Structure 1
Amino acid sequence: MGEDRYEQLHAAFRWQVPPDFNIAEACCGRWARETPKATAIYFDSESGCRAVYSYAQLQRAANRLSNALWNQGVRRGHRVAIVLPQRFETAVAHIALQQMGAVAMPLSLLFGAEALEYRLQDSGAVLAIAACEALPALREVKARCPALRRIVVVGECPVDCDELPWMEALQAEAAQFKPLATQADDPAVLIYTSGTTGNPKGALIPQRALIGNLTGFIASQNWFGFDPFDASQPSDAVFWSPADWAWTGGLMDALLPTLYFGRPIVAYQGRFSAAKAFELMAAYGVTHSFLFPTALKAMMKAEPRPRRHGLKLRALMSAGEAVGDAVFAWCRDALGVPVNEMFGQTEMNYVVGNCQALWPAQPGSMGRAYPGHRVAVIDDDGHECPPGTVGEVAVHARDRHGVPDPVFFLGYWNNDSATRAKFTGDPANSWCRTGDLARMDADGTLWYEGRADDVFKAAGYRIGPGEIENCLLKHPAVANAAVVPKPDAERGALVKAYVVLADGHAASDALVQALQGHVKARLAPYEYPKEIEFIDALPMTTTGKVQRRVLRLREQERAAAAVAA
């Protein structure tokens, strides 16, 4: 471990946000002029289709698409849905929309008709760029989305359809387009986030937010191949992440930051598996990656000797949930690459984490605020909590020097009340709440305690599920686990664990007792799961997070049914 440069970096750091800024120019336009032949996208797929695209090819395709969209009536500020997986066309769509001053609205291919309809209606999207797989659902809802004029289809397009085929649209247009100038505060991306209650909210992300993401990206990636004290050093970085580009984790944590630095990113269109992860990293010489804890757990269980693959991996970031010391130790000892945990939200992303190249990381911690971000743990009244006290993680609208932090979203789409509720006061000069609980050490290190709605009390004890889940994961029979409260008349709640078994293990009463003893021997007596239910798979979000809320509701419904019976 090297010298701890944390305080030095924070004290010296100053944001440099130009009044005029455009994501397309920063991530593609300048590289198409300066390093046109440099690789931007390596494409790979389950079907065996592979291709390599340069920055010049990315820019020319984006220019053609911008012209095509302009002819379809897309103008500055218009919302355009992107329903695509990881592939070249997805990057083209984002660059094309940004240089038009339009607002990209990425949507997951996993969304059904109802989810698509709500977002298309709420946003007033005027056009959708979609993979052919999404076409049936989009056709089903199009008539109920009056603003939606046209669908551009990537892939097989039915004959005699109202949709516009991608290749046909681009081939009819010139490869030159004059970008529209945008200001740093102009909207760039609209991403819908699922809250604990109510309909999803559209977080409107400005152009400048990419700049706000950069300190976290380069720190969590151990400076992405650059020496921070000698920026002239070249980088051979190649990035890959299974994170869906339809979400903040894939778009703002992977695709756009990689392109911002003019480096190649691997786009893999297919399902994640531990074997495929190792295969991709070896084949493309991946040096930097972002892997969710769920992915790392699968890789850890599948491969005790990962170095035999001849990987070139130099830096690894993880986010979404706490990694836990079992996975942390595997990354450090077996993989040979210490993992940098990161924490952020769609509304203000990449704000907390580790950078083991420049400051020591404590296993299991969230890390510390990245340079340029002022982070604290606050109580219900908005006051900073003393060290070691559990409270809500919050990010201030201004950094430690009083300068506005560019990472912040502009607000929730058509939902001013939700925007106001997110802040403790004036959004331009107050704390922004995350809804995540943590405690902070005197040196600023944060320790995750779970979502505000995930933490529960059992027999008067405050229970955070993460620690128990991590303990269960250390048992060889456990592939994954989620801990929720089970309503109990006497104690208020019991600790219950849903467990996915690793290959080669079968459910039994003896295994239940073994797992309970495993936790009881390692954590406080009140933390061991009084009940364990084996399950084939945990409910997950499309971004790979365990949906404890689904399991929690299941327990509440069972308890209500038992009372009624």
Structure 2
Amino acid sequence: MDGSQARDNWAAMHAGFRWAVPAHFNMAQACNRRWSEAPDAGTRVAVIAHGAPEGRRVLTHADLRRQADALSHALAALGVRRGERVAIVLPQRFETAVAYMAVLQMGAVAMPLSILFGPEALEYRLRNSDSVVAICDASAAAALAEVRPQCPALRCVVGVDGAPGTDADWEALLAPHRDPFALVDTRADEGAVLIYTSGTTGPPKGALIPHQALIGNLPGFICSQNWFGFPPTAGEGAVPTAGTARSAGLQNTSVFWSPADWAWTGGLMDALLPALYFGRPIVAFNGRFSPELAFTLMQAHGVTHSFLFPTALKAMMKAFPEPRRQFRLRLQGLMSAGEAVGDAVFHWCREQLGVTVNEMFGQTEINYVVGNCAMNGDTEGGVGWPARPGSMGRPYPGHRVAVIDEEGRECPPGVPGDVAVNRYDVHGQPDPIFFLGYWRNEGATAGKYTGDWCRTGDLALRDEAGYLWYQGRADDVFKAAGYRIGPSEIENCLVKHPAVANAAVVPKPDRERGALVKAYVVLAPDAAARRSAAPAGFEADLVAQLQAHVKGRLAPYEYPKEIEFIEQLPMTTTGKVQRRILRLQEEERARGRA
């Protein structure tokens, strides 16, 4: 049975779903501590390290608890208190999972930072958050050492694997602590994670995520991952809970993997934490993605469920049109997000991977709210609904999502508007998915809402069946190769170069990545004069200098792949850059090339 013929259980699932959010809840308790107290804690695997040497390949829940308890004690000895921010600047590895559990169980706030961040990006986030401790390995040690003098609140930098220039060694720090750590009884609506998200005006904003947001993620995770190995017996629209996870965990053989960085919402809230919540192993890999690596890894570890960006799926499709001729795959569920998957990839996943890819939509502030639950045509038990290629999907159970106009009124079918999520579900219950607000930015938090509607800033239209169809961004943030790009931070970085007077960053349509980062640059007078009189090759050299300038200060994926020099930027009468004009110009050029 294909997706178009599958039974549609969407309305029944919404009608039967009810939130069950306790007053007190802690992510670490749900993701590790309860599993560590089970009889099989010593053999139940939490994390598998792909390519690791013998003796370092698996981290059990007992290991995870023991190391997390030691780190919590060590952080407490360093003076870390409830509510204080601890920066975690680590790739996918055992210590990353340990750090999250340790920080969360002591009531502190985990602040994920990508190892791809350059000094400037790190400094802003560390200073703005007043982070008191940072944990890193060699991949970020040099950048942290460079910005350390500008971060007065940062009392200690902990180095993993002997990372140079740090204050304390991970192993030495944990060694003296062998006693269990007493869980801090956090409120469900207490801050747990601070993730910075890019914006178009001003610097990045820190979204404070509560512990209960993990519960809010679960319906979408379960639906998009084809019930994640649990029997689809939710005739009344329920999703597996902590109780069913514990009781069914021994029979569940799911193994999860995603190349998504655990420092991002997609890697943390859509992969690492949900997998640990259900007591199933997640594969960690710290290295460059390639199609061959993806298939080899999935074969080696029997991966059953995954989150893969459309860019990754496109590369895998081109490299291996018929992957099951070369690899033994066990995929049962596949989610994709970040940009549109497209018809070709959608059909390749169904025909060659044996799964219907479930597209998903969300953002850091309100994650995992819309998507599909195709269940590969299997609708036994009254769950799932057909996937429509090209559609964002429908609201997941527990979330009331609508397309609204500027006044907050719901748009009729076929009329574009802003995708928004209501604070209350269809039954009038509070939705736990919401962020608590932007860190030290009450104005931006208030501007996110129209009454009880939280606006995403993404435009879509809704059809008669309730499916959403993406129309574009309401602001200037865009996705490039799955990464969320905020023009402001890149523009600010470019302007700091002595040759640049002003800059505007827009997406340039690209068949492979969805979009490339392109910068329009107005040169400073002396640089403009040198360009006019310079010999051939000057402009190419200047472009390379500006690209290296951004690469060295922000993340590598943020540097402009293309730079165009212009005399002046299109501006409004109030002095704001009209990026929309430049974006439309790039779209028109793309149509001309096509």
Q: Does the TM-score normalized on the shorter chain lie above 0.5?
A: yes
Quote the residue 2:580 is aligned against: none
Q: How does 1:322-401 map to 2 (within 5 A)?
A: 322-357=340-375, 358-401=384-427
2:289 is the counterpart of 1:272: yes
Paired residues for 1:487-506 under 5 Å: none
Separation in structure 1 between the aligned mates of residue 28 and residue 275 of structure 2, nearest angstrom: 13
The yes-or-no answer on 1:31 pairing with 2:35 is yes
Secondary structure at 2:456 match in 1:
strand
The residue that corresponds to 1:22 in the other structure is 26
Aligned counterpart for 1:229 among listed residues 230, 233, 237: 233
What CA distance in whole angstroms lies between the structure 2 residues aligned with 1:485 and 1:559? 16
**3-state SS of 1:189 partner:** strand
**Distance in 2 of aligned mates of 1:451 and 1:245:** 25
**1:228-267, aligned counterparts within 5 Å?**
228-229=232-233, 234-267=251-284
Task: Name the SS of the counterpart of 1:255 in structure 2.
Answer: helix
- Check conservation: 2:519, 2:563, Cα contact below 8 A: no
What corresponds to 2:238 in structure 1? none
Question: Would the alpha carbon gap of residues 543 and 433 (structure 1) be closer, same or farther in structure 2, given more than 3 Å must change?
Answer: farther
The question of whether the paired residues in 2 share the 8 Å contact of 1:482 and 1:546 is answered with no
| Residues 486-536 of structure 1: CA deviation (Å, up to 9, x unaligned) | 99xxxxxxxxxxxxxxxxxxxxxxxxxxxxxxxxxxxxxxxxxxxxxxxx9
Contact 2:136 2:163 in 1 (8 A): no
1:193 is matched with which residue? Answer: 197
Structure 2 counterpart of 1:445: 467
Deviation larger for 46-55 or 358-367: 46-55
8 A Cα contact 1:249 1:543, kept in partner: no
Q: Does 2:69 match 1:63?
A: yes
Specify the alignment match of 1:116 in structure 2: 122
- Equivalent residue, structure 2, for 1:203: 207
Helix, strand or coil for the counterpart of 2:450? coil
Higher relative contact order (CA 8 A, sep 6+): 2
**Deviation of the 1:156 alpha carbon:** 2.3
How many Å separate the matches in 1 of 2:291 and 2:137? 25
Asked whether 1:145 is paired with 2:151, we answer yes
CA distance in 1, matches of 2:554, 2:143: 21
Offset from partner CA, 1:26-47 (integer Å, 9 cap, x none): 0000001113020100012489
Please point out which of 5, 8, 15 is paired with 1:4. Answer: 8
Task: Indicate if the aligned counterparts of 2:255 and 2:282 stay in contact, CA closer than 8 A.
Answer: yes
The 1-side partners of 2:16 and 2:554 are apart by 35
State the distance in 2 between where 1:373 and 1:543 align. Answer: 35
Tell me how far apart the structure 2 counterparts of residues 22 and 169 of structure 1 sit (CA, whole Å): 24
| Aligned residue in 2 for 1:482 | 515
Number of the residue aligned with 1:413:
439
Cα distance, 1:171 vs. partner? 0.9
CA distance in 1, matches of 2:519, 2:147: 38
**Which secondary structure does the structure 2 equivalent of 1:289 belong to?**
strand
Report how far residue 163 of structure 1 moved.
1.0
Q: Distance in 1 between matches of 2:331 and 2:94?
A: 23
Q: Secondary structure at the match of 1:81?
A: strand
Provide the C-alpha distance between the structure 1 equivalents of 2:86 and 2:467, rounded to a whole number of angstroms: 40
Distance 2:150 2:568 in 1: 37
* Deviation for aligned residue 1:49: 9.1
Counterpart-to-counterpart distance in 1, 2:125 and 2:283: 28
User: 1:432 — aligned with what?
Assistant: 454
Question: Helix, strand or coil for the counterpart of 1:76?
Answer: coil
Counterpart of 2:77, as a letter, is N
The letter of the residue matching 1:438 is A
Structure 1 residue 452, shift from structure 2 partner: 2.0
Confirm or deny: 8 A CA contact 2:518 2:560 kept in the other structure.
no
Q: 2:304 aligns with which of 259, 268, 287?
A: 287
- With over 3 angstroms needed to count, the CA separation of the structure-2 counterparts of 1:290 and 1:162, relative to structure 1, is closer
Match of residue 214 from structure 1:
218
User: 1:136 deviation in Å?
Assistant: 1.2
How far the C-alpha of 1:546 sits from its partner, in A, is: 8.4
Instruction: State whether residues 214 and 274 of structure 2, in contact with CA within 8 Å, keep that contact through their aligned partners in structure 1.
Output: yes
Q: CA deviation at 1:194?
A: 0.6
Superposed CA deviations along residues 187-228 of structure 1, whole A, max 9, x for unmatched, are: 000000011232000000000000000000000001101123
1:483 shift after superposition: 8.0
SS at match of 2:421: strand
Residue type at the aligned position of 2:232: P
Aligned partner of 1:186: which letter?
A: E
SS of match in other structure, 2:193? strand
- CA deviation map 1:335-376 (0-9, x unaligned): 221100000000010000000021101011100000000001
SS at match of 2:431: coil
The verdict on how the C-alpha distance between 1:247 and 1:327 changes in structure 2, with shifts beyond 3 A counting, is same
Per-residue deviation at 1:301?
1.1
User: What's the counterpart of residue 163 of structure 1?
Assistant: 167
Report the TM-score, using the length of structure 2 for normalisation.
0.77
Distance 1:422 1:441 in 2: 25
Tell me, which stretches of 5 or more residues in structure 1 are unaligned? Answer: 457-467, 474-478, 488-535
One-letter amino acid of the counterpart of residue 442, structure 1: E
User: How far does the alpha carbon of each residue in 1:113-138 deviate from its partner, in whole angstroms, 9 at most, with x for none?
Assistant: 11111000000000001112211111
What is the root-mean-square deviation of aligned Cα atoms in Å? 2.8
Please tell me whether the aligned partners of residues 308 and 334 of structure 2 are also in contact (alpha carbons under 8 angstroms). Answer: yes
Distance 1:325 1:49 in 2: 43
Aligned to 1:500: none
Alignment-mate amino acid for residue 364 of structure 2: T
Give the Cα–Cα distance (whole angstroms) in 2 for the partners of residues 47 and 454 of structure 1. Answer: 45
Query: Percent same amino acid among aligned pairs?
Result: 61
Q: 2:109 aligns with which of 94, 103, 108?
A: 103
Structure 2: distance between partners of 1:447 and 1:50: 45
Aligned to 1:464: none
SS at match of 1:53: strand
Q: SS state of the match for residue 184, structure 1?
A: coil
Distance in 2, Cα, partners of 1:275 & 1:559: 45
Say if 1:129 and 1:154, in contact at 8 Å, map to a contact too.
yes
Aligned partners of 2:563, 2:306: CA distance in 1, in Å? 35
Counterpart contact for 1:247–1:543, Cα < 8 Å: no
Q: How many residue pairs end up in the alignment? A: 484
1: CA distance, partners of 2:220 / 2:410: 23
Quote the Cα distance in structure 2 between the aligned partners of 1:401 and 1:481.
38
TM-score calculated relative to the size of structure 1: 0.81
Amino acid at match of 2:456: T
Does the 8 Å CA contact 2:47/2:94 hold for their aligned counterparts? Answer: yes
2:95 maps to 1:78: no
State the Cα distance separating 1:172 from its structure 2 match.
Answer: 1.7
Contact 1:46/1:269 (<8 A) preserved: no
Q: Give the AA of the match of 1:319.
A: A
Instruction: Kindly report which structure 2 residues correspond to 1:532-551, keeping only aligned pairs within 5 A, or say none.
Output: none
Structure 2 segments unaligned to the other structure (5+ residues): 235-243, 376-383, 479-507, 521-546, 571-594
How far apart are residue 558 of structure 1 and its match? 3.5
| Aligned mates of 2:415, 2:518 — CA distance in 1 | 23
